[in-house]
């Protein structure tokens, strides 16, 4: 998950909590000093509570990026777990600042070519 996305979610949650606290303060004020049924304040409070609940549902529903493993071969060709191949002019995905697979959108997990294990196999 990108830092920008987390920041946006954090801002949205702060906004919802502020609205909820304001509604609670209004409710408490009406209930304490006006000694009447705080009907409107209760409705505002309930609306805020529902907004928080629906945003939590939205966050839970957001599909987390599945990992996509990229494994390099001896020629520097990267095979992706989702069935594609990719070559870089220089280095691998991390070296080139890639964090997500451009084919499936998964979070990219890099497995560099291991020369040592290749020699053991042969
Ligand atoms: Zn992929």
Ligand 1: centre distance to CA 6 (Å): 22
Closest CA to 121 of 78, 80, 74: 74
Instruction: State pTM to two decimals.
Output: 0.47
Q: pLDDT of the chain along its 122 residues, tens only?
A: 678 888 888 898 999 989 989 988 888 888 888 766 677 888 888 888 888 888 888 877 766 678 999 999 999 999 999 999 999 999 999 999 999 999 988 899 999 888 776 555 54
Ligand 1: centre distance to CA 79 (Å): 9
Q: Exposed, middle or buried, 70 (CB in 10 Å: 0-12/13-18/19+)? A: buried
Ligand 1: centre distance to CA 55 (Å): 29
Scored b (16 or more CB within 10 A) or e, 8-47 reads eeeeeeeebeebbeebeebbeebeeeeeeebeebeebbee
Ligand 1: centre distance to CA 33 (Å): 60
Q: Strand (E) positions, 25-66? A: none
- The pLDDT of residue 55 is 86
Would you state the structure tokens that stand for residue 15, as one six-digit string? 């906004």
């Amino acid at each position: 998950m990108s830092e920008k996305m987390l920041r946006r979610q954090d801002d949205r949650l702060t906004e919802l909590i502020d609205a909820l606290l304001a509604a609670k303060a209004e409710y408490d004020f009406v209930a304490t000093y006006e000694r009447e049924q705080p009907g409107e304040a209760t409705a505002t409070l309930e609306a805020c509570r529902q907004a928080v609940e629906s945003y939590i549902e939205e966050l839970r529903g957001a599909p987390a990026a599945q990992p996509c493993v990229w494994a390099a071969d001896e020629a520097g060709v990267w095979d992706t777990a989702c069935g594609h191949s990719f070559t870089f002019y220089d280095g691998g995905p991390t070296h080139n600042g890639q964090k997500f697979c451009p084919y499936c959108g998964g979070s990219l997990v890099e497995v560099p070519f291991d020369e040592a294990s290749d020699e053991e196999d042969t």
